Structure 1
Amino acid sequence: MKYLLSGSLLGLIFGLQATLSLAKPSTDEWDYLQPSRDQVIASLNVVELLKRHHYNKPPLNDARSSQIFDGYLEILDPSRSYFLASDIAEFESWRTQFDDFLREGKLEPGFTMYKRQLERQTQRLNYALGLLEAGIDQLNFKADEDLTINREKSPWPQNTTELNDLWRKKIKDEVLRLKIAGKDSKNIQELLIKRYKNQLTRLRQTRGEDVFQTYINAFAQSYDPHTQYLSPENAENFDINMSLSLEGIGAVLQSDNEYVQVVRLVPAGPAEKSKQIQPADKIIGVAQGSDDMVDVIGWRLDEVVKLIRGSKGSVVRLEVIPASNAPSDQTSKVVSLTREAVKLEEQAAKKSILNLQHDGRDYKLGVIEIPAFYLDFKALRAGDPDYKSTTRDVKRLITELEKDHVDGLVIDLRNNGGGSLQEANELTGLFINRGPTVLVRNNDGRVDVLTDDSSTGLFYKGPMAVLVNRLSASASEIFAGAMQDYHRALILGGQTFGKGTVQSIQPLNHGELKLTLAKFYRVSGQSTQHQGVIPDISYPSVVDTQEIGESALPHAMPWDSIRPVLPLARNPFKPYFDELKKRHEQRTQNNPDFVYIRERLAFSQKLMQETSVSLNEEKRRTYQSTIEKQQLAFENARRLAKGEKPLDKLDQDEPALGKPSKEDKDLKPEEDAFLTETGHVLLDYLGLNARVAHNNSKI
C-alpha cells in the first residue's frame, strides 16, 4: 500500500500552482484563512486513496458531490441557526461541483462556506451577548411561545429578523433550563455571558487547519462514518491514544451538535469504575482538580479532549447531563475522576457462579465476564510463556468452574467494545471442533477466512449462552455471531452495536487518513455491519438504539451477505424457540427490573419524539415536574416490588439497569436481572431438550 501511494503522491504535485492562484482576495477578518500548498496536495491524495482503496470504491460524481454539500452544511450549521436562506441559495450553485473541485485540488469553495459560517456565528454570538448583557429579567417568560427542538429539517431563516427571533427564543430556552436546574438569575447571566464570550474568543483562534479538516472530513465521511482525515495534530493524538502513553478517563467521545457525548466506556477505566457516567451522557464542563469548572458547550471535540486528558494520578472533574434526563432538562451532576492508565489485568476475564432455583431444583451456572478482547502483544513478542490473553484466561476459568461442577456456562459480553481479532478467533476455537470463525472481505473482493486450526477439538463441550447488549461491538460480535452460526450457544440480550468494518491508517504528506478497507462477515455469510447480531431472545435495551450504535451514525455502510463457508446444519435450538420465548415473557412480564427498563425506555423514546418545548416558565416547570414525578414513580414501583425502601426524590447517581452498580467484591450474580434471566432461559432449554431426548428414548 505505501509503495503504491508514494508513487501517486509525486504524480499529484504538478499543476498545483495554478490551483492555488484561484483564491479570491477578501477584506473580511477571516481573510487569513486560506488553503496551503500542503493541504491541496493532501486533498488530492485523499481523493486518490478513496478512489483506489476504499472498501466500496463509490464513484466521485455529481451524486457524491450533493452528499458532500449536504454533509458539510450539516457540520457547519446542524441546527440551521447561523446561515440565511440567501447564503444557502448562493452555495447551491456548487452542489454538483464538489467532485470537480476535489479532483482539481480546488479548496476555496469549502473555505468560503466555512468563513461565511464564522461571520454568521460571530453575528449571532454578539446578538446573544447583547440580549444577556441587557439583563435576563428583560426576557418575557410569561409569553405563550415555543421553540422547535430539532431543526435539522427546518427551513433556513429568510432574514436577520427571523434569525434574531430564533436566537431570542434560544436564549430564553437556555435561561429556563438553568433556572429549572436550580441556578439563580445572576449566576445564569454570568455563566451564559462567559460561555458566549469564550466561544467568540475561540472563533477568532480558528486556523486554516480547522477549516481544511472539517471540509475534507465532509468528503471522507460521505463514504462511511469511520473513514476520517486526521490533521497532523490529531494524527499525533490518535497515535497517543492507540499506544496508551497518556492517561485519561477511559471514555470514547463524539460531537453531538454543541455538546460532547459519551459513546462508550473503556472497561476498567476511571469512568467505567466510577459507575456515575453512562453512554449518551453529555459533558458540559471540565475542571482540573479543584479549579473552577470550564464551560465547554459549543467547543470542538478535540479541544474538550485536550482538557480531559492529563497525567496519571491527577484529578479531573466533569459536569455531566445524564442521558436519562428529558431533552429539556439541563440538570447536571459533577463527577470527579482520577486519571490513570487502564491496566491489562483490570480488563481480564472474571468468573462467578450463578445459583438459581429452577423448576424446583437448585442449579449452578458458571459465568465468565469478558470486558474486552485483550492480548499482551509486548509479552508475546518477547517470548514470555505467561503472556496474558483473553483465550488463556477463559480456558483457566472454565477449568476452575468445571471443578465446581457447574450445570452450564454463560459468557457475558455486555459492554465489550471489542479488541484483538486474533483473540476473537482463538476464543471461538475453544467452543467448536475446528473450522472457520470469521470472514474478512477486502476492497479488491478477496475474502480471507480466519480459521480455528486447533487439533484439540472442543475445550468446553457443555451447554452455554452468550449475553450481549447494544455496547457489545466488533470482536464481541464476531464471537457471538460464530456461536450463533455454529449453533453452539443461545444468544440472549440486546441487538449488538453493528460495527463490522476494518480501518487502516494511511500516512499523507500532511496528516493521515483513517480508511475503511475491509468488512467482517460471519461464517454464515452475514455481515455484522449495521445490523449487528440479533439475539435469539431479546431483552429490553438500557440505551436508546436510535442514539447509540452503528445504525445511528450518518452514512453507515449497509448490512449485506456473501457466500457462507459453513454448511447449513440443523439448528438444535430452533424447535424450542417459541416455548423459550413464551416462558421468558411469562417470567419477565412482572419482573420489577424488566418492567422498569421497558417503561423507562418507552417513556424516554416518547420524550425524544417531542418537537418543541414551551418557553412559558410556568408551563415549563409544570412539564418538568410531571417528567420527574413519572421517573420517580417508575423507580419506586421497582423498589417496592423488590421490597426496597422508596425514594423521596430521584438520585442522579442511580445507575442504568442491566448490570448492578455495586463494587465487584459486593456483587452477587443473582442481583443482576439480565444475567439471572439468561440463566433461566438456558435451564429452560436444557429441560426441554432433556424431555424430548427422554421421550425419544422411549420410542
Structure 2
Amino acid sequence: MSPLANLGRTVAVLAGLLLVATVALAQPQPTDAQRQAATEVAESLRYGHYADVDLDDAWSRRAFERYLDILDGQRAFLLEEDVEEFRHLEESLDDALLDGDLDGFFTLYQRYHERAEARFEWLLARLDEGLDFDYDGRQRLELEREDAPWAQDMADLDDLWAKRLKNAALTLAISDQDEEQVETNLRQRYEGQLSRLRQTNADDVFGLLMAAATGSVDPHSEYLSPRQGESFDIQMRLSLEGIGALLQADGEYVKVASLVPGGPADRAGVLEPADRIVAVGQEDGEMVNVVGMRLDDVVDLIRGPKGSVVRLDVVPAQAVDMTRSKVVEITRDTVKLEDQAAHGEVIELERDDGPHRVGVIEVPTFYVDFDAWQAGDEDYRSTTRDVANEIERLKAKDIEGIVLDLRNNGGGALQEANSLIGLFIDRGPTVQVRDARGRISLYGDTDTGTVYDGPLVVLVNRLSASASEIFAGAIQDYGRGLVVGTSTFGKGTVQTLNELSHGEIKLTRAKFYRISGESTQHRGVEPDIIFPSLIDPELIGESSLDNALDWDTVRSVQYREYGEPWRYLENLKDRHRRRAEEHPNFRYLEQQAALNRQLREENTSVSLNREQRQREVESQEAEQLALENQRREALGLEPLEEWVDARGEESDEEEEEEPVEQVQVQEAAQILLDYAQLDDSFRFANRD
C-alpha cells in the first residue's frame, strides 16, 4: 500500500482543520454505534498498535491538544475562556473512549461551532456594509498561528478577522478583480463555508474526535467512517475516475500531497507536490472557490466521469503569494496497470573517450496483477517481470550499466520489492519486519541466480517511499550499487485495515528494518551522493508529519556484500561536483532550492499595504525569474517574461532537450560510468 495513499487518507480525516465542522439547528449527539466504536478504537490502540500505547492521563493531554488543533488550529475562533471552560476534559479522553462517554467532547465541538457560525455571519455582515478598505499603512497579517495564544476576548478576534478579510480582499484585488468581483467572490466563499458548517452531523464530529485520538499516536493510524471506508476501498482498487492526485488539508487550503504514477495529472504535467488548489470548475462551468472547504468535498468536486475535463485554479508550491495562481485543465481518467508499468530506454552520453550507452528503467510503483496471478495466468504482469524483460532488452543494446529510477515511487506490493532485489543478487535477505510483540520476520529472495550483474545506480527522491526505500536500502547494504538523489520519504511502518462495529480502523501494526538493522522510518534512505531538490522536506515526508514514529535499529542479519562502492565515494563525489558546477540545470536546482528555503523562512506574514505587498511579491518573483532565465540562457532557450510562466504550456519546456528533472537521470548515468570505470570487478560481470 502506498504510504502517500495512507497520507492522503490520514489527512482526509483531518480535513476539519479549520472550517469543517458543525451542525445547524441542533447540537449533534453521539449515537450508540459511535459510543461502541469509540471503545473499539481505544482497545485497538491499546492492544493492537505497534507502539506501546498507554491510554493514560499523559496520552489524554496530547490527544486533547490535538483535538483543539483539529477544531481551531489557527486560533481564530475559540477564546481562551472557551478552552479553559473545557480544560477539565484534558485528562479524561482515555476514560471517555473506553466508557463510550463522548458527550463532553461533543459539547466542546458545539462551542467551536457556535463561535465559527457567528464569525461567518460577522464576515457576511461586513460584506453587506460594503468593502471600504484603506490599503495604506503598515499593517501586516501573521500567516501561521499554530503557536499563537488563544484570544482574550472577542475584540482580539474581531481585529484578527478584520485583517483576514482585508487580506482576502487585497489578494483578489491584486489579481485584477474589480470591487464588485471581489465582494462576490468573498461572499460566495463565506456563504459556502457557513453552509458546510451547518451541514455537519454527528459522524463528522465523531470523525474529528477519533482523528485526535489516533493521530496522537502516529500519522498513519486513523478511524474511517463508513463513507470514508468506501472511498478508501475505491482508491485502493485504482478504479477511481478522477485526476490521480492525492490531496491533503493545509490550513484553509487543499494541497497536492503526491501524484499517482501514470495518472491523468501525472501525464498532464501541470501539478506538482505542495501545489495548492484554490478553485475547481467543471468543463466550461463556473469556478467554485474551495478555500476553507472540507477536503472530502473538494475531492468530490474533482472526481467525475472518465473523459470529462476538470479545471483547477492552482497556486504553485514555489509561489510567494496566493495571488499568483494559474488555471490548468486535466482530463479525468482511470489509472490502469499499463500506465504504471516499468519501462526502459537507452541514453547516450558523450565523454572524453567517446560515446557511451546507459540503460534507464523507470519504476513508477511496485505492482502485481493479483487477479491474473490468482487465476493461474502464467503471463501475469508484475514489476519484477516487467523489469526483468526490460533488462534483457537493454542488455541486447550493449549498455554499460543500468540506472533504476525510483523517483516518485510511493511503494506498493512488498513481495515485488523482495523479488525485484532478487534480479540483482543471488539469494539473500531483503527486509526485516518487527511486529507489536517484538517478533521479527525476515523476508528475502529465494531464487538462485541474477538477471543483471553489471554496474547499478538507484535514483531516488523525497517521494520514494515504503517498498522503494526497502529496495534502495537493500542495494546499498549489499554494496550492489550506488544510491543517488535526495533523502527518501521515511515511511517505514505497516498498516492493516480492520472492521469495527461502525466504520473501520487503519492501524500501524509493524515496522520495516533494513538487513543492516536500521529502520527506514522517519529518516528514510540517505543517498550515497546527494542531489539538490525542489521538494521541501519541511513540507513533504514522514519527518514533516505530527507524531511520526521514531527511527531505531534492530540486530543486523548475515548477508553477503557484493561490492564496496563506498571505497570510491570521495572520487565519485568530486567528479559529480565538477559536473554539477558546470551544468545550468544543476546550478538552478541548487540555487532555487536555497531561495525557496529563504522565502519560506522570511514569509511568515504579509503586508496589507497594497504598494508594499506588490513590491514584496515583485521583488521575490524577480529573484525566481532571474534564476530561471539564467538557466534558460545557458541552455539556449528563450527567456520568460513572467515567473509564473515557468510551468505550463507557455514555458516552451517542450522545446527543451534536457528539462530540469531529466538532468538528474543524466547525472546518475554519468556517476554510473565513473563507478564502472573505477571498479575493475565490472569488467568481468556477465553482460549476456
TM-score (norm 1): 0.91
Secondary structure, aligned partner of 2:640:
coil
* Whole-Å separation in 2 of the counterparts to 1:370 and 1:525: 26
Whether the 8 Å contact between 1:435 and 1:451 is mirrored in structure 2 is yes
Counterpart of 1:528 in structure 2 is: 520
Query: Shift in Å at residue 571 of structure 1?
Result: 5.8
Q: 2:549 aligned with 1:557, yes or no?
A: yes
Q: Partner letter of residue 72 of structure 2? A: D
Match 2:338 to one of 345, 352, 356 = 345
Q: 2:128 aligned with 1:139, yes or no?
A: no
* Whole-Å separation in 2 of the counterparts to 1:188 and 1:669: 38
* Whole-Å separation in 1 of the counterparts to 2:290 and 2:503: 26
Q: Partner letter of residue 286 of structure 1? A: V
Q: Which has the higher contact order (CA 8 A, sep 6+)?
A: 2
Query: Shift in Å at residue 206 of structure 1?
Result: 1.0
* Whole-Å separation in 2 of the counterparts to 1:279 and 1:395: 30
Counterpart of 1:616 in structure 2 is: 609
Query: Shift in Å at residue 297 of structure 1?
Result: 1.1
Q: 2:325 aligned with 1:332, yes or no?
A: yes
Counterpart of 2:9 in structure 1 is: none
* Whole-Å separation in 2 of the counterparts to 1:427 and 1:162: 59
Match 1:274 to one of 262, 265, 268 = 268
Any idea what the Cα deviations from partners look like across 1:215-273, whole Å, max 9, x if unmatched?
A: 01100111111100011111111112112333111011111111111110001101111
Any idea what the Cα deviations from partners look like across 1:389-441, whole Å, max 9, x if unmatched?
A: 11111111111111111111100111111111111111000000111111111
Q: 2:301 aligned with 1:311, yes or no?
A: no
1:549–1:671 CA distance, 2 compared to 1 (3 A): closer
Q: 2:475 aligned with 1:509, yes or no?
A: no
Counterpart of 1:117 in structure 2 is: 112
Whether the 8 Å contact between 2:347 and 2:357 is mirrored in structure 1 is yes
Secondary structure, aligned partner of 1:386:
coil
Bigger shift: residues 56-65 or 605-614 = 605-614
* Whole-Å separation in 2 of the counterparts to 1:84 and 1:181: 34
Q: 2:197 aligned with 1:207, yes or no?
A: no
Bigger shift: residues 35-44 or 336-345 = 336-345
Q: 2:562 aligned with 1:584, yes or no?
A: no
**Percent sequence identity over matched residues?**
47
* Whole-Å separation in 1 of the counterparts to 2:673 and 2:195: 62
1:578–1:332 CA distance, 2 compared to 1 (3 A): same
Aligned residue runs from structure 1 range 362-441, under 5 A: 362-441=355-434
Match 2:277 to one of 269, 274, 283 = 283
* Whole-Å separation in 1 of the counterparts to 2:450 and 2:682: 25
Q: 2:540 aligned with 1:548, yes or no?
A: yes
1:166–1:108 CA distance, 2 compared to 1 (3 A): same
Match 1:32 to one of 27, 35, 59 = 27
* Whole-Å separation in 1 of the counterparts to 2:429 and 2:681: 33
* Whole-Å separation in 2 of the counterparts to 1:498 and 1:202: 35
* Whole-Å separation in 2 of the counterparts to 1:197 and 1:95: 33
Q: Partner letter of residue 585 of structure 2? A: D
* Whole-Å separation in 1 of the counterparts to 2:253 and 2:546: 17
Q: Partner letter of residue 582 of structure 2? A: N
Query: Shift in Å at residue 130 of structure 1?
Result: 2.1
Query: Shift in Å at residue 668 of structure 1?
Result: 6.7
1:32–1:598 CA distance, 2 compared to 1 (3 A): same
Whether the 8 Å contact between 1:147 and 1:612 is mirrored in structure 2 is yes
* Whole-Å separation in 1 of the counterparts to 2:24 and 2:458: 59
Counterpart of 1:9 in structure 2 is: none
Alignment: residue pair count = 659
Bigger shift: residues 238-247 or 197-206 = 238-247
Query: Shift in Å at residue 591 of structure 1?
Result: 1.8
Aligned residue runs from structure 1 range 633-652, under 5 A: 633-652=626-645
Counterpart of 1:480 in structure 2 is: 472
Counterpart of 2:16 in structure 1 is: none
1:691–1:655 CA distance, 2 compared to 1 (3 A): farther
* Whole-Å separation in 2 of the counterparts to 1:495 and 1:505: 29
Bigger shift: residues 561-570 or 515-524 = 561-570
Aligned residue runs from structure 1 range 246-265, under 5 A: 246-265=240-259
Bigger shift: residues 571-580 or 31-40 = 571-580
1:443–1:46 CA distance, 2 compared to 1 (3 A): same
1:182–1:385 CA distance, 2 compared to 1 (3 A): same
Whether the 8 Å contact between 2:676 and 2:682 is mirrored in structure 1 is no
Secondary structure, aligned partner of 1:362:
strand
Secondary structure, aligned partner of 2:679:
helix
TM-score (norm 2): 0.93
Secondary structure, aligned partner of 1:367:
strand
Q: Partner letter of residue 585 of structure 1? A: R
Q: Partner letter of residue 555 of structure 1? A: N
Whether the 8 Å contact between 2:307 and 2:332 is mirrored in structure 1 is yes
User: Which runs of no fewer than 5 residues in structure 1 stay unpaired?
Assistant: 1-27, 695-699
Secondary structure, aligned partner of 1:674:
helix
Counterpart of 1:17 in structure 2 is: none
Whether the 8 Å contact between 2:480 and 2:562 is mirrored in structure 1 is no
* Whole-Å separation in 2 of the counterparts to 1:204 and 1:68: 25
1:386–1:661 CA distance, 2 compared to 1 (3 A): farther
* Whole-Å separation in 1 of the counterparts to 2:379 and 2:657: 29
* Whole-Å separation in 2 of the counterparts to 1:330 and 1:651: 11
Match 2:125 to one of 112, 121, 130 = 130
1:669–1:621 CA distance, 2 compared to 1 (3 A): closer
Whether the 8 Å contact between 1:352 and 1:669 is mirrored in structure 2 is no
Secondary structure, aligned partner of 2:509:
strand
1:640–1:203 CA distance, 2 compared to 1 (3 A): same
Aligned residue runs from structure 1 range 214-253, under 5 A: 214-253=208-247
CA RMSD of aligned residues (A): 2.1
Query: Shift in Å at residue 597 of structure 1?
Result: 1.4
Q: Partner letter of residue 218 of structure 1? A: A
Counterpart of 1:448 in structure 2 is: 441
User: Which runs of no fewer than 5 residues in structure 2 stay unpaired?
Assistant: 1-22
* Whole-Å separation in 2 of the counterparts to 1:279 and 1:122: 33
1:232–1:674 CA distance, 2 compared to 1 (3 A): same
Secondary structure, aligned partner of 1:391:
helix
Secondary structure, aligned partner of 2:622:
helix
Any idea what the Cα deviations from partners look like across 1:489-521, whole Å, max 9, x if unmatched?
A: 100001011111111111011000011101111
* Whole-Å separation in 2 of the counterparts to 1:654 and 1:85: 44
Match 1:62 to one of 43, 57, 69 = 57
Q: 2:85 aligned with 1:90, yes or no?
A: yes
Any idea what the Cα deviations from partners look like across 1:23-76, whole Å, max 9, x if unmatched?
A: xxxxx9654300000000000011111111100131011111111011111111
Secondary structure, aligned partner of 2:156:
helix
Match 1:672 to one of 634, 656, 662 = 662
Secondary structure, aligned partner of 2:86:
helix
Secondary structure, aligned partner of 2:508:
strand
* Whole-Å separation in 2 of the counterparts to 1:287 and 1:524: 50
Counterpart of 1:13 in structure 2 is: none
Whether the 8 Å contact between 2:474 and 2:514 is mirrored in structure 1 is yes
Whether the 8 Å contact between 1:354 and 1:670 is mirrored in structure 2 is no
* Whole-Å separation in 1 of the counterparts to 2:525 and 2:381: 28
* Whole-Å separation in 2 of the counterparts to 1:295 and 1:165: 24
Counterpart of 2:6 in structure 1 is: none
